[in-house]
Structure 1
Amino acid sequence: MNLDTRLATRIHSLRKSCAYSLEKLAELSGVSRSMISLIERAETSATAAVLNKLADALGVSLASLFSEEAEALVASPLSRAEEQPVWQDPASGYLRRQLSPPGYGSPIELAEVTFQPGQKVTFDNAMRSIVTHQQIWMLDGEMDITAEGRTWHLQPGDCLAMVLGQQIMFRNPTSRSARYLIALTATPSSTGRQ
C-alpha cells in the first residue's frame, strides 16, 4: 500500500471513529469537504499544511497520520529502515520519514525531515485539540523556525524545544538541503473540541 493510500485509509478511519461527517470535519478543520473526499479516496496528495489541519480536527498528531492502525498490526519495538514510510509534501517537496515503530504505543514519535533549499511550510491552527511538545535536532544544513512571533536560526547540532501553538513556520533560507530529526509527544488538550 503506498503512502497516499495509507493516509486516505487512516484519515477515513479516524473520521469515522470520531463519528464526523465530511461536512463536520470540513467545519472543524477549515479544509473543504470536496478536498477531504479526494484525500480519503487517495485521488489527491494533501499538502503538509492540509494534513496538519485534518490531524488537529481529528484530535491526533500529524505524525500519527503516517502510522498504521494499531489494531491491524502485531506491534514490534523495531522499525526497520526499509519499512519506514517516506512521504513527500507536494507543495514544498520536503521529505518526511516516519521513524517510530507503528502501533507500538510509545508516547514519543520520531521523524526525519529533509527540507529542500529555499522552501517553507506554515502550519496554522485556529485551535489545537491536542498539546504537542516537539524538539527539533538539526543534523545537516540550516533552518529558520518561527513560532509564537519568534524566529530561531538552527545549524547542525542545535536543538529547539517548543510547545506547538497557533502557527509555526519552517523555512530553509539556504541553497542546500537541510535535514533534521523531530521528536514529539502529544496529549489531548483540556480545551479540545468535541
Structure 2
Amino acid sequence: MDINARIAARVSALRQERGMSLDALATKCNVSRSMISLIERGQSSATAVILEKLATGLGVLLSSLFEDQQPQANPLIRHRDQPEWRDPQSKYLRRDISPPNTQSPIRIVEVLFPAGARVAYETAAREIRVQQQIWMLDGSIDVTVGTTQYALDTGDCLAFPLNQPTAFHNPHSKQARYAVVLSTDAPTT
C-alpha cells in the first residue's frame, strides 16, 4: 500500500475507533477539519508537523500513523518492508524500523535529515507518557526541547520526555542521520 494511502486509512480508522467526528479531532489537535478530511481521503501529503498534531490528538505516537492496520504475527520486519515516508516540507526521510502492530512499548525510527532542514513540533502533553532518545548515527543537528537547545554530534544520545515542544534543525552543509527510540507506558496503538 502506498504510504499516503496507509496514513489516510490509519488516521480514519483511529479517529473512528475513538468515536471522534472530524470536528472533534480538529478541535482536539488544532488542525482544520478540511485538512483532516483531505488527509483521510489521501488527497493531501501532510507535513510531519500536521501528522504529529493528529497523532497527539488521537493519543498515539507519530509512528503509529505509518503502520499497516493488519495484525502482525511475525516479530521480524525486513529492511525492504520497513515503511519510509518523506516530509513534503523539510524533505526529511523517516523509516520505521520496529515491526508493526507488536504490543511492545518501544518504537525505533531512523531519520535522514537534510542539510538546512528544520522541523518544529508544537505538541506537548500527551495522554500516555512517552520517553524519547535521539542517537546521532552520522552528522550533527541541533535539538531544542522546550527552551533548551542541544548540539548533537555523531555518537551523542539525548534522552527526554516527550511532553513539550521539540524542534530539530540541521544548520550544517551535510545530511544528518539519527535514530529515534520511543518508549511508552502502554502499547503505542
Bin for the TM-score computed over the shorter chain: over 0.9
Question: What amino acid does structure 2 have at the position aligned with 1:159?
Answer: C
Question: What amino acid does structure 1 have at the position aligned with 2:168?
Answer: F
| Displacement after TM superposition at 1:130 (Å) | 2.6
| Displacement after TM superposition at 1:126 (Å) | 5.3
Task: From the superposition, tell whether residues 161 and 15 of structure 1 become closer, same or farther in structure 2 (CA, over 3 Å).
Answer: same
Q: Deviations over 1:142-163 (max 9, x none)?
A: 0100002101100000000000
**Distance in 1 of aligned mates of 2:92 and 2:41:** 23
- Contact map agreement 2:72 2:100 (CA 8 A) in 1: no
| Displacement after TM superposition at 1:124 (Å) | 0.6
Aligned to 2:54: 54
RMSD between superposed Cα atoms in Å: 1.1
Aligned residues: 186
Identity of aligned residues (%): 48
Aligned to 1:110: 108
Q: Deviations over 1:84-109 (max 9, x none)?
A: 00000001000000000011221110
**Distance in 1 of aligned mates of 2:184 and 2:22:** 25
Structure 1 residues not aligned, in runs of 5+: 189-194
Residue 37 (structure 2) pairs with residue 37 (structure 1): yes
Residue 165 (structure 2) pairs with residue 173 (structure 1): no
**Distance in 2 of aligned mates of 1:49 and 1:31:** 10
Residue 156 (structure 2) pairs with residue 152 (structure 1): no
Alignment of 1:72-111 (within 5 A): 72-111=70-109
Structure 2 residues not aligned, in runs of 5+: none
- Contact map agreement 1:56 1:130 (CA 8 A) in 2: no
**Distance in 2 of aligned mates of 1:114 and 1:74:** 26
> What TM-score comes out, normalization by structure 1 length?
0.93
- Contact map agreement 2:125 2:162 (CA 8 A) in 1: no
Aligned to 1:191: none
> What TM-score comes out, normalization by structure 2 length?
0.95
- Contact map agreement 1:122 1:170 (CA 8 A) in 2: yes
**Distance in 2 of aligned mates of 1:25 and 1:115:** 29
